[in-house]
Amino acid sequence: MKSVFKILFFIPRLIFSLIWSLFRTVIILVIITLLFFYFTSSSKADFGAAISEQIHKISTTFFSSDFNLRDTMSKLSTDNYEHEQGSRWDKNKATIYIASSDETFIKAYRTAIANWNATGSFTFNIVSNKAGANIIATDYSDAKTQAAGLAESETNAATNRISHVDVKLNRYYLLNENYGYSFDRIVHTAEHELGHAIGLNHDDSETSVMASSGSYYGIQDTDVAAVKKLYAK
């Protein structure tokens, strides 16, 4: 009888101990990370900003990892972007350096930049010096993510102002014939990621370049209005 109980309780106990050890590992990692940033930051404000940036990076990495493998191509999203509500550049302009060496992407970025600039709501100035650029526009190849692009922004937690953005287009999908991306949709993807670089979040409530998937729409009046509202004061 005793051994029957032992067997009965063995499995739940094993599961519990596995969950507990995983939980403990996560807590220890979080503490180590916090301590690291505490001792490497020169001031309390920097510490806060560093933590905020790390949390943003972690959430970006987490949500854009191979978490959605079950999704099919039709569900392929533009990206999985989330950031602090209302974060933006100090003024409605930023310098941008195009670091991609792919001809299609360079053309797409230049078109997307010209289209945003034509709206008058935000101005991207293309610069030839990478070191001082506010935004770096480049590409990457990742089959594990379901995203066609991504935007990684660094925001000062104290002021909620964006300090730097890396915008990337995913070669794996956009330049792969099997996924059927037209040049227009690549431009829309670039416009979308630049929209994030401006400070826009996803908008799935209406026709918008900021739709979270599909990249079927270019910059709409509603997107221009959203940028004007964000930079109104």
Report the residue number, 113 or 190, with the smaller CB distance to Zn ion. 190
Q: Does residue 152 interact with Zn ion by CB under 5 A? A: no
Report the residue number, 49 or 226, with the smaller CB distance to Zn ion. 226
Report the residue number, 82 or 90, with the smaller CB distance to Zn ion. 82
Binding mask 46-85 for Zn ion (x = CB under 5 A): --------------------------------xx-x----
Q: How do strand 161-170 and strand 149-156 relate by DSSP bridges?
A: antiparallel
Report the residue number, 79 or 152, with the smaller CB distance to Zn ion. 79
Report the residue number, 184 or 204, with the smaller CB distance to Zn ion. 204
Q: Which residues pair with 156 in a beta bridge?
A: 161
Instruction: Find the shortest distance in angstroms from Cβ 192 to Zn ion.
Output: 6
Instruction: Find the shortest distance in angstroms from Cβ 212 to Zn ion.
Output: 6
79-138 residues near Zn ion, rule: CB under 5 A:
79, 81
Q: Which residues in this chain contact Zn ion in the complex, by CB under 5 A?
A: 78-79, 81
